[in-house]
A and B are shown apart, each in its own frame.
Chain A
Amino acid sequence: MARYILTRLLSLLISLTVASAVIFALIEIIPGDPAAFMLGINAQDDTIAALRAELGLDTSPLERYFGWVSGMVTGDFGTSYTYRTPISEMIAERLWISLPLALIALALSTLIAFPVGILAASKRGSLTDTIVMGFTQLGVAIPNFWFAMLMVLVFAINLRWFSAGGFPGWDEGLFTGLKALTLPAISLALPQASILARVMRSALVDTLDEDFMRTARAKGLNRRQAIQRHALRNAMIPVLTIIGLQFSFLLAGAIIIENVFFLPGLGRLVFQAISQRDLIVVESVVMLLVFAVIVVNFAVDIAYVLVDPRLRRQG
């Protein structure tokens, strides 16, 4: 068990190192000098040089890479080229929108998908199964940003239940904040819930065919008891994998959904930074998101061990 966690931890560190190197290298080969860009076309050469020194751009790439990484480890992401403010502050502010959004969406997606998937699997082949799976088929096909636009049209413009976009800030109270995140979270969650429900159903259907389910029935358990006590936990293994993957989809999806609802989250920050060539911001936000994905996958690996005793004794 300890060995398993240790090897996973090691591979987490390796992934993080390689990912940071790749991100840094990509940003590094971008043509154009940020300092020159910031100062405009009329800038003097020596002013540019001074700014380059101030931004630390005159050192070697290797030095800058290690500076960047060691900074991030201590929570110092550097200074934005455009706004001249610490990036960690900018990110922290935005994270308070993007992270709750992704988490609410993940919770919503799981809460919808589990009962739906279990219902469809336990009534496999019935009319209920066909109808429910038909809806998930549709849910998988709908792009979340288009779904978001339709929701704005119906619930914000026509019914006026919610505002069409923007975020009042958490200072306005928890309820106001959550209300502003409701439509975005639903538009993010529904397509993902469709995928998860389909996975849940097929994992459960596969488990229902296993020999040990027959053993459980032979003991005298009825169908419902057999599913609850023996099938669900076995079906969780593939479902966990998908939940792990979904987190990264939700983070990425959040970037797009923030655009639909004009939410000042990490997504908007990235797009602004790209258009202003504020590369150090792009670099840091992307690294942060990759970090989140890698950590979640690590958590999923640990969850496997908790579910499956067969993994506890080996590597």
Chain B
Amino acid sequence: MKTNRNLVVGAALTGFFTIAALISFLWVPYDIEALNIADRMKTPSFSHLLGTDHFGRDILSMVMIGARTSIAVALVAVGIGMGLGVPLGLAAAARKGSLLDELIGRGNDLVFAFPSLLIAILITATFGPSALNAIIAIGIFNVPVFARLTRGSALSIWKRDFILAARVSGKNSAQISVEHILPNLSSLLIVQGTIQFSLAILAEAALSYVGLGAQPPTPSWGRMLADSQTMISLAPHLALAPGLAIVFTVLGLNLLGDGFRDVFDPRLRRGRT
């Protein structure tokens, strides 16, 4: 198979930030909890590759730990979305037109009526801001995305003859959903999963930017941007590093998703004789 450029670039970018996040568990250039007012607002130099912020904290260290926060929140949120959405979608497709299907469909419509930020606002208003609530807000919003996608694609697979063959072999709809439907959805779910992952990173950044995400002292890219905003005319570099980190991570994930889609595309792969 020809190497796919999207896949390679996407994997490289995503890999870079994932590794940075993993390294941050073991080592970061500077302790970010130690404030060093003498070194504040430094532009990039050899001792501080990305400069320092208004408390003299090392930006590189903060971006590395911020990657950890972003990736962790997005990963768990998409996990919730997939974990709940895919079974719901499979069940709705297996019982098309039933009350269950109708209920799942209505539920999806309802969640879609609340943009993820509104869900976050409501949850925050209720339980207070925290990373956990950001995860729940983004996760809830992901459930109907996966439920709809799964239901729609599962329905078209249910119409295929191999499902009929499985039914002739005495398989019930749960067995068919797991053995026949799910494996044929996997590539689609991987593609959508990467895209939702990138959207979740953007959503997490937006939430922490308005103060509804991870709380201090945990660094997060969104809050670093919020902090930098008042000083943007004095120290634009403070806004650059976390912003570019978000852009490249999201770009990497999107390219990865496109690459997966190119590789999995049945129109390219299915060798019709």
Contact surface of A with B, Cβ cutoff 8 Å: 11, 14-15, 18-19, 22-23, 26-27, 29-30, 137-138, 140-146, 149-150, 152-153, 157, 245, 248-249, 251-253, 255-256, 259-260, 270-271, 274, 279, 282, 286, 289-290, 293-294, 297
Contacts and interface: CB of A to CB of B under 8 A. Distances in A.
Nearest to B129: A274
A19 B126 contact: no
Interface in B100-116: 106, 109-110, 112-116
B117 interface: yes
Contacts of A30: 125-126
Interface stretch (B43-51, B158-166, B204-212): B204-212
B121 A282 contact: yes
A202 to B, nearest CB: 10
Interface in B131-158: none
B210 A271 contact: yes
A22 B117 CA distance: 16
Interface stretch (B17-25, B168-176, B229-237): B229-237
A18 B110 contact: yes
A140 B199 CA distance: 9
Given A138-B247, A271-B210, A26 B232 contact: no
Interface in B171-223: 198, 202, 205-206, 209-211, 222
Interface string B26-44: 0000000000000000000
Contact of B118 (A146, A274, A290): A290
Contacts of A157: 232-233
A279 B124 CA distance: 12
B109 A15 contact: yes
A239 to B, nearest CB: 17
Contacts of A279: 125
A297 B114 CA distance: 12
27 contacts: A15-B110, A18-B110, A19-B114, A22-B110, A26-B122, A27-B125, A143-B202, A145-B205, A145-B225, A146-B205, A146-B239, A146-B246, A146-B247, A149-B225, A149-B228, A149-B229, A150-B239, A157-B232, A248-B113, A252-B115, A252-B116, A252-B117, A256-B209, A270-B121, A274-B121, A282-B121, A282-B122
By size class, the interface of chain B is 35 or more
Contacts of A14: 106
Nearest to B239: A149
B92 interface: no
A137 B254 contact: yes
Given A141-B254, A153-B233, A290 B114 contact: yes
A247 to B, nearest CB: 9
B97 to A, nearest CB: 12
A290 B232 contact: no
A29 B123 CA distance: 11
A143 B121 contact: no
> Which 10 A-B pairs have CB atoms at the shortest separation, nearest pair first?
A252-B115, A252-B117, A141-B250, A141-B251, A146-B243, A248-B115, A157-B233, A141-B247, A293-B113, A30-B126
Given A15-B110, A141-B247, A146-B225, 15 more contacts: A26-B125, A141-B248, A141-B254, A142-B247, A143-B206, A146-B247, A149-B239, A157-B233, A252-B118, A255-B117, A259-B209, A274-B124, A274-B125, A286-B114, A297-B113
B122 A286 contact: yes
Contacts of B239: 146, 149-150, 153
A253 B117 CA distance: 8
A256 B206 CA distance: 7
A153 B198 CA distance: 26
A137 B121 contact: no
Given A143-B202, A146-B246, A23 B122 contact: yes
Nearest to B228: A149
Q: Give the residue among B122, B233, B239, B254 with the most A Cβ atoms within 10 A.
A: B122
A315 to B, nearest CB: 12
Nearest to B195: A140
Contacts of B236: 153
B115 A137 contact: no
B232 A153 contact: yes
Contacts of A11: 106, 109
A145 B239 CA distance: 11
B77 interface: no
B255 interface: yes
Contacts of B115: 248-249, 251-252, 289, 293
A256 to B, nearest CB: 5
A270 B115 CA distance: 15
Nearest to A156: B233
Contacts of B251: 137-138, 141
A293 B106 CA distance: 15
Nearest to B233: A157
Contacts of B117: 252-253, 255-256
Contact of B243 (A137, A150, A245): A150
Given A149-B232, A256-B206, A289 B118 contact: yes
A251 B202 CA distance: 16
A183 to B, nearest CB: 14
